Chains A and B, each alone.
Chain A
Amino acid sequence: GQQVMQIPQYQHVQEGEDFTTYCNSSTTLSNIQWYKQRPGGHPVFLIQLVKSGEVKKQKRLTFQFGEAKKNSSLHITATQTTDVGTYFCAGFTGTASKLTFGTGTRLQVTL
Chain B
Amino acid sequence: DAGITQSPRHKVTETGTPVTLRCHQTENHRYMYWYRQDPGHGLRLIHYSYGVKDTDKGEVSDGYSVSRSKTEDFLLTLESATSSQTSVYFCAIGAALLAGELFFGEGSRLTVL
Contact = CB atoms under 8 A, between A and B. Distances in A.
Asked if A and B bind, the verdict is yes
B102 A45 contact: yes
Contact of B45 (A88, A98, A103, A104): A98
A33 B35 CA distance: 16
A50 B99 CA distance: 9
Interface stretch (B21-29, B36-44, B75-83): B36-44
B98 A48 contact: no
B99 A31 contact: yes
A44 B104 contact: yes
A101 interface: yes
A99 B42 contact: no
Contacts of B31: 97
A101 B99 contact: no
Given A42-B104, A42-B106, A45-B103, A100 B98 contact: no
A15 to B, nearest CB: 26
Q: Tell me the interface secondary structure of chain A in the complex.
A: loop
B100 A48 contact: yes
Given A42-B105, A102-B42, A103-B40, A97 B48 contact: yes
Contacts of A6: 42
- Interface residue range, chain A: 20 to 34
Nearest to B41: A103
A102 B41 CA distance: 8
Contacts of A101: 35, 42-45
B87 to A, nearest CB: 14
Interface in B59-73: 59
B58 interface: yes
A39 interface: no
A-B CB proximity, top 9 nearest: A45-B101, A101-B43, A42-B104, A103-B42, A104-B42, A92-B98, A101-B42, A43-B104, A97-B97
Given A88-B43, A102-B42, 8 more contacts: A43-B92, A43-B104, A44-B104, A97-B48, A97-B50, A98-B48, A101-B44, A104-B43
29 contacts: A6-B42, A9-B40, A30-B98, A30-B99, A31-B99, A33-B101, A41-B106, A42-B90, A42-B105, A42-B107, A43-B43, A43-B90, A45-B101, A45-B102, A45-B103, A48-B99, A90-B102, A95-B98, A97-B31, A97-B98, A98-B48, A98-B58, A99-B94, A99-B102, A100-B59, A101-B43, A101-B44, A103-B40, A104-B42
